[in-house]
A and B are shown apart, each in its own frame.
Chain A
Amino acid sequence: MTKDECKKVVIDIIADIAPDEDLSTLKPDVRLRDQLQLDSMDFLDIVMELRKRHSIEVPEADYIQLASLDSCANYLTPKFNALSAKS
């Protein structure tokens, strides 16, 4: 998985979590919270959906890695690739 593909996965999840938001202009290097109406429960949703849909675990200490699309991609892409290498 490339980082761009990983961002697409995250955007797909956010589209379900924040269905009223326009995601077409999301800036990858800006904190998601600064661009979208997302609260702490929404971030828990992102963690839950990564777990449910992709079997990806994000420990609480790493939640900060989900701050922006870029940081999501940096943090999650190796996890996705490690998972696909296993399977």
Chain B
Amino acid sequence: MKPSRIVITGVGLTAPNGNSLAEFRQNLLNGVAGIERMEIRYMGSQLAGVCHYDPLRHQTKKEVRVGTRAGSISIYCAREALNDSGVDWAAQSKDRAGIYIGCTEHGNVETENEIYNISKFNYDTKFWSHYHNPRTVANNPAGEASLNLGVTGPAYTIGAACAAGNLGLIHATQMLRLGEVDLAICGGVSESIHTFGIFAGFKSQNALATHADPSKASRPFDLARNGIVVSEGGCLYTLERLEDAQARGAKIYAEIAGYHVNSDASDYVLPNPVRQAECVRASIRRAGLEPRDIHIVNTHATATPLGDIQECEAIRAVFGEGCPDTHINNTKSYIGHCMGAAGALELAGNLPSFDDLTVHPTINVDQLDPACALPGLVLNQPRKVAKVDTILNNSFGMLGINSTLIVKRFAA
């Protein structure tokens, strides 16, 4: 039996440079980055991608106070996606809706805050918050969204380091095909900038970006790149089986064409281009396509000196020279690394290409690293192209998890 066709019918997002798909896309085409300086506990001023959505658009003040930042971002994105989808939420069976949210990590923010809090009380744990456990359980972001939306179907997170955003979409696709739910709210979120630990960790790895101009700090493929800009963000989609979407006359952004997830099994932090290439090839094969059929490759590259080269090696191995219609870009150059949200956000930023036939560029490439000089790289200026029927999105993460997701232009 052929698997059900799964389509994207709604998008809700908050990125460091936009709080809707339209605003985000406009800034990607206009070269507007969203990186700023932020005071980080114990570390002083650091570069970070900060979201400026209005939490009170979809939450009460009490929900914001009691919940987590990741929960708030999830609620904002889920509500925005549902609004965008045109789903009649009041009439929707809440037990047939599922929430699947990718996270790089969860709980560090609240644990750091509580330790800091009790440090003011001579480390007396009677001052430790009774909210600590519900705030730090791994399912918190999805759970908060379920509370806000009244979803009684499955609602949980998927831990997959920085591949998690793609995993949210992939898992939702699988659950829809299994008939577990009729409507999936899925993607990824990150609250990472509110934990000093991630900044300190990357700094200890010599992988934290520095630059005098925040908007130029995240520079994948540039010879002078010097590391990651840590960002927060979120992007959730509504996914439905095609027949359900058509039955209600939904707007369809794209169809899920293929995907693959694999593991390097080789190192805690160093990527493995052989496994990455296997992941990309397997996703293309599952989509029933050839590499030359892929029109946009959105890279994962985070602007670490080694990681970018290794992903380029993987892409070169798959696409080589025989793919004249394949254009390659990177979204982190604008928004930094949104961690668990990265894959979902970066896909969203490229979806409008189906309509405007424009590939947003990778910005901040003043001097292209020869080791990253791939054919088809779109640098610094948007590129008008003849055809965009497929978008391939790479997201890779620590402990060697790789994910590739392909979406295609919807054609009945």
Contacts of A19 in B (CB 8 A): 60-62, 65
| 0/1 string, A34-49, CB within 8 A of B gives 1 | 0001000100110010
Chain A, 16-36, contact with B by CB distance < 8 Å: what is the 0/1 string?
Answer: 111110000000000000000
**Given the complex of chains A and B, what is the CA–CA distance between A48 and B130 in angstroms?**
9
Are A48 and B129 in touch, CB under 8 angstroms? yes
Interface residues of A in 49-80 (CB under 8 A from B): 51-52
Q: B65 contacts which chain A residues (CB < 8 A)?
A: 16-17, 19
Closest residue of B by beta carbon distance from A38: B62
Q: Out of A20, A44, A52, which one reaches B62, CB within 8 Å?
A: A20
Binary CB contact string for chain B from 56 to 67 against chain A (1 if under 8 A, 0 otherwise): 000011100110
Q: Tell me, yes or no, whether B268 is within 8 Å of chain A by CB.
A: no
Q: With an 8 A cutoff between CB atoms, is B131 at the interface?
A: yes
Q: How far is the CA of A45 from the CA of B130 in the complex (A)?
A: 8
A37→B129 CA distance, assembly (Å): 20
Range for the number of chain B residues in contact with chain A: 10 to 19
| CB-based contact B60/A20 at 8 Å | yes
Instruction: Chain A residues near B62: list those with CB within 8 A.
Output: 17-20, 37
List the B residue with the shortest CB-CB distance to A21. B62
Chain A residues within 8 Å of B123, by CB: none
Do residues A51 and B126 form an inter-chain contact, with CB atoms below 8 A? yes
Give the contacting residue for B127; candidates A20, A41, A44, A51; CB below 8 A.
A51
Q: Looking across the interface, which residue of chain A has its beta carbon closest to that of B128? A: A48
A44 touching B130 in the complex, CB below 8 Å, given contacts A19-B62, A19-B65, A20-B62: yes
What is the CA–CA distance of A44 and B130 in the complex, to the nearest angstrom? 7
| Beta-carbon contact of B61 and A41 below 8 Å | no
Instruction: Give the residues in chain A near B131, CB-CB below 8 Å.
Output: 41
A–B complex contacts, Cβ < 8 Å, 17 sampled: A16-B65, A17-B62, A17-B65, A18-B62, A19-B60, A19-B65, A20-B60, A20-B61, A37-B62, A41-B131, A44-B130, A45-B130, A48-B129, A51-B126, A51-B127, A52-B121, A52-B127
Given contacts A17-B65, A19-B61, A52-B127, 6 further A-B pairs with CB under 8 A are A19-B60, A19-B62, A20-B61, A44-B130, A48-B129, A48-B130
A interface residues with partner B (beta carbon < 8 Å): 16-20, 37, 41, 44-45, 48, 51-52
Which B residues have a C-beta under 8 Å from some C-beta of A? 60-62, 65-66, 121, 126-127, 129-131
